[in-house]
């Protein structure tokens, strides 16, 4: 039931999800002509209970696949949850279910009125021990799903679909985060050899006839491209878009913090890093957007600073150091640089890296003239 995702429609819903919703819809066709509104509401609750039980099964299977969040089975389960949310959201807007929603609101108000005039328990009753007990929870996700009660004596939600849709959206969001984290984990592992290159030993750009991707960057790029292509193939656009956007933002931060800020470079190393990242790494997201560089502001600005002309870079570096001395501590440099430094950063189109980080990036270059 949870094999490769079939490209059935825009949601790419697996067959099992379509079958369960077809079954539930068939129940609607049978009871929608009942004269009693309360009877219709009763059967609607039965439908939601069936969907919730199916969702509980999906969650349990999903927990077994947490070790392979980039795999086909996990993608299929994610599409299943997304499909349930889509269908329930559509149902919530239909006139038939809106009438049941109104009846549910009236029922909630009636129960509230009855409870407000109910007599207080007797002293003997108040001393009785509570019969409720906490139920052991096997996992966070599984505990979020409890069957809908059909008893009129139990408190009911004031909304028909909102509670279940909210639970499903919570599960969907967590699953998308798991997909992103799995890709990031693989990227972190592969990036170690990329960081360990001898960035201070690269030849000068003037000695390079044709710039090529560094050997260590190849594995990095192949791995990321593989994950992006599989995600695009297995997920509908409505799921793939938030996944790649979240992935891009986290990659931007990781590359800036753990790659750019972890290496020291000469002129050739800076040129190579700029080529690997801005000409090869960032363009991998061209399958997602026409302007992928917009989602990597930290990487873009850091690479720009690393390949500045030596004179401009040295001047900016000295201004930043001077501003830090004026503030008595480099820790106070962020947000309190001189107007000259702020004007220079604005002129260079550096908007996402603060002054202290700019100085740290510039100090990655070991071949620029030292400050006096």
- Distance of alpha carbon 274 from alpha carbon 304, whole angstroms: 8
- Distance of alpha carbon 361 from alpha carbon 364, whole angstroms: 5
Q: What is the pLDDT of residue 113?
A: 67
- Distance of alpha carbon 302 from alpha carbon 304, whole angstroms: 5
Are 362 and 317 a contacting pair, CB within 8 Å? yes
Longest CA span, the chain: 94
Q: Taking CA 266 as the corner, what is the angle to CA 265 and CA 269, rounded to the nearest 5 degrees?
A: 65
pLDDT in tens, 3-17: 333 444 577 888 989
Q: Which residue has the higher pLDDT, 135 or 36?
A: 36
Tokens of 368: 């620029």
Q: What is the pLDDT of residue 78?
A: 97
Tokens of 313: 């870079």
Instruction: Name the strand (E) or helix (H) holding 57.
Output: helix 37-64
Query: pLDDT category, 154, cuts 50, 70, 90?
Result: very low
Tokens of 341: 């430094």
Ramachandran sector of residue 12 (left: φ over 0; alpha: ψ -120 to 50; beta: rest) = left
Q: Is the pLDDT of residue 123 over 70?
A: no
Question: Measuring CA to CA, which residue among 190, 15, 210, 344 is closest to residue 4?
Answer: 15
Weakest-pLDDT range from 79-83, 285-289, 344-348: 344-348
Are 237 and 10 a contacting pair, CB within 8 Å? yes
- 148-182 residues labelled b (16+ CB within 10 A) or e (exposed): beeeeeeebeeebbeebbebbeebbebbbebbbeb
pLDDT in tens, 47-106: 999 999 999 999 999 999 999 999 999 999 999 999 999 999 999 989 998 888 888 887
Q: Which residues pair with 365 in a beta bridge?
A: 265
Are 92 and 165 a contacting pair, CB within 8 Å? yes
Are 345 and 358 a contacting pair, CB within 8 Å? yes
Question: Measuring CA to CA, which residue among 9, 72, 28, 10 is closest to residue 230?
Answer: 72
Are 242 and 307 a contacting pair, CB within 8 Å? no
Q: Which residues pair with 265 in a beta bridge?
A: 365
């Amino acid at each position: 039931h949870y094999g490769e995702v079939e490209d059935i429609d825009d949601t790419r819903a697996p067959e099992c999800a379509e079958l369960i919703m077809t079954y539930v819809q068939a129940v609607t066709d049978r009871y929608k002509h009942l004269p009693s509104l309360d009877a219709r509401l009763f059967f609607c609750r039965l439908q939601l209970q069936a969907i919730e039980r199916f969702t509980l099964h999906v969650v349990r299977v999903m927990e077994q696949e947490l070790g392979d969040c980039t795999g086909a089975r996990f993608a299929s389960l994610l599409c299943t949850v997304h499909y349930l949310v889509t269908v329930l959201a559509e149902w919530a807007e239909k006139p038939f279910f809106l009438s049941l929603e109104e009846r549910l609101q009236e029922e909630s108000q009636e129960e509230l009125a009855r409870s407000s005039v109910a007599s207080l328990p007797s002293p003997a009753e108040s001393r009785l021990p509570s019969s409720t007990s906490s139920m052991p929870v096997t996992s966070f996700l599984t505990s979020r799903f409890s069957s809908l009660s059909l008893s009129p004596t139990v408190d009911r939600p004031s909304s028909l679909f909102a509670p279940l849709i909210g639970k499903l959206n919570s599960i969907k969001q967590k699953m998308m985060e798991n997909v992103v984290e799995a890709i990031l984990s693989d990227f972190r592992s592969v990036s170690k050899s990329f960081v360990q290159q001898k960035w201070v030993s690269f030849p000068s750009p003037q000695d390079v006839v044709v710039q090529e991707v560094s050997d260590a960057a190849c594995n990095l790029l192949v791995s990321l491209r593989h994950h992006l292509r599989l995600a695009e193939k297995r997920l509908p656009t409505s799921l793939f878009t938030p996944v790649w956007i979240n992935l891009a933002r986290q990659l931007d931060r990781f590359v800036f913090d753990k790659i750019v800020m972890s290496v020291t470079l000469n002129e050739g190393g800076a040129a190579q890093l700029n080529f690997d990242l801005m000409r090869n790494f960032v363009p991998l997201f061209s399958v997602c957007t026409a302007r992928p560089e917009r989602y990597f502001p930290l990487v873009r600005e850091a690479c720009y600073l690393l390949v500045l002309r030596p004179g401009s870079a040295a001047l900016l570096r000295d201004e930043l150091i001077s501003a830090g001395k004026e503030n008595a501590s480099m820790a106070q440099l962020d947000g309190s640089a001189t107007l000259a430094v702020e004007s220079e950063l604005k002129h260079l189109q550096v908007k996402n890296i603060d002054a202290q980080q700019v100085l740290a990036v510039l100090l990655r270059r070991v071949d620029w003239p030292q400050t006096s």
